[in-house]
Amino acid sequence: MSAVFEFDDDDELGGQNIRSQEEQESGYSSEIDAAEPTPIVADEKLYEVPIGEGFISSSVKESSPLNRKTTKDDFEVLKLLGRGAYGKVMLCRHIETQKLYAMKVLKKASLFVHAKNAEHTKAERQILEEVRHPFIVQLMYAFQTDDRLYLILEYATGGELFTHMATERMFMENVARFYLAELVLALEHLHSLGIVYRDLKPENVLLDGDGHVMLTDFGLSKVSLDNRTNTICGTAEYMAPGNPISNVQKYGEIDILGIEILMEMHYDKSVDWWTFGILMFEMLTGSTPFRTSNKKKTLDAIKNKKLQIPYYISADAKDLLNKLLKKNPNVRLGSGEDGIQRIKSHRFFRKVDWTQIKERTVQPPITPVVTDPTLAENFDEKFTSQVIRESPIDTPFDERMKSYFQNFSYVAHPLTHIDTNGL
């Protein structure tokens, strides 16, 4: 899950392939970090609902079941899918339509402990409204109570890519190539909107019922009008490299973050191509390239260690990894105006038909086993086996919490929904 983490200097990362289940957190994240909102062009804005109104939008037909204010009472909670510092994510069923969704619940009081987190949540909500893509999870509803925020998202019945990677230990190149190609298109779309994702990792890549990717968790995403930002964030194993960070205690999994994030430099969309390279390396080898016995050593490895690629990786894959994992973001593959085209035309992807990938006509190499979507059988049993209880709020109600999220409510127009459940 995305967040700014704290850890002790001797916090062990372990050397085993594929991060352990204890390290993994649900891809349906309920943790957030810095992201600034940006105005959305009027033609692209999708039916935002002021809290005080009892209707959804004049463009939603009166006969629609959505033509009223949505509340938590419209949903039946079935399973816990994940848990984070600020809330939890649950599988739920819309009572009237019987459709399944993932319900992300955030405690307002927890968000306001660190002032920026509330603003980051608003930004995540706005980004989710703006983005519509077949490989990105879709926001269906948003609403609030006095003490909680609710985001109702598409339910990815195939679970996390992390789980499938852990089962296989490592992917064959043709398998990795398929998922990487779909992620290229997802990142291309985000970058076209000026959004830097910043937290690409296996836990944040979900699979739908057919096995296609669904990128989720925009808690760390940033919209930058000048395409550059310098907020510290991310999962540390995937951090990109660039002046040393002043406080290593800010990070969790160090070997995922980019050098320019670690060095507290301004960075842009090229940081996503660093994390893309780290993910590709982990798919093909079962481990991240700069992982060491503790986080401080990993930080040093990211900044100073030469990339070492196993002998069994093909020449094309080695070349792509070397170009993606350049410590200098200015020469990293993917940077510059034509960066995405240079990635798509790389020899590693020479057999990829990008049109077919976008149209989802290529058969995924992994078909998730889904006997009953209400069982959430592709999610971690340590979450799904728990009894769901609504935790009490130990902070008095503050009227500012309600007013701060004045325009949080939302419902997706029926015509914008992309059905990716595959069931």
Per the annotation, binding residues are 104
Cβ count near 304 (within 10 Å):
11
Task: Provide the token pair at 420.
Answer: 């990716």
Residue 105, C-beta contacts closer than 8 angstroms, at least 6 positions apart: 30, 87, 88, 89, 90, 148, 149, 150
Residues 126 and 37: beta-carbon distance below 8 Å: yes
Q: Which parts are annotated binding residues for ATP? A: 104
User: How does 80-98 read in b/e, with b if 16+ C-beta sit within 10 Å?
Assistant: bbbbbbbbbbbbbbbeeee
Residue 298, C-beta contacts closer than 8 angstroms, at least 6 positions apart: 13, 236, 237, 254, 255, 290, 291, 292
Identify the burial level of 15 via C-beta atoms within 10 angstroms of its C-beta, where 0-12 means exposed, 13-18 middle and 19 or more buried: exposed
Is residue 19 classed as helix, strand or coil in its secondary structure?
coil
Considering just the CA atoms, what is the radius of gyration of the chain in Å? 21
User: How does 130-168 read in b/e, with b if 16+ C-beta sit within 10 Å?
Assistant: bbbbbbbbbbbbbbbeebbbbbbbbbbbbbbbbbbbbee
DSSP 365-415: S-----S-GGG-TTS-HHHHTSPP--PPP-S---HHHHHHTTT--EE--GG
Active site residues: 199
* Type of residue at 263: M
CA distance 358 to 356: 5
DSSP label of 18: S
Residue that is written with structure tokens 């419902």 in the block: 411
DSSP label of 257: S
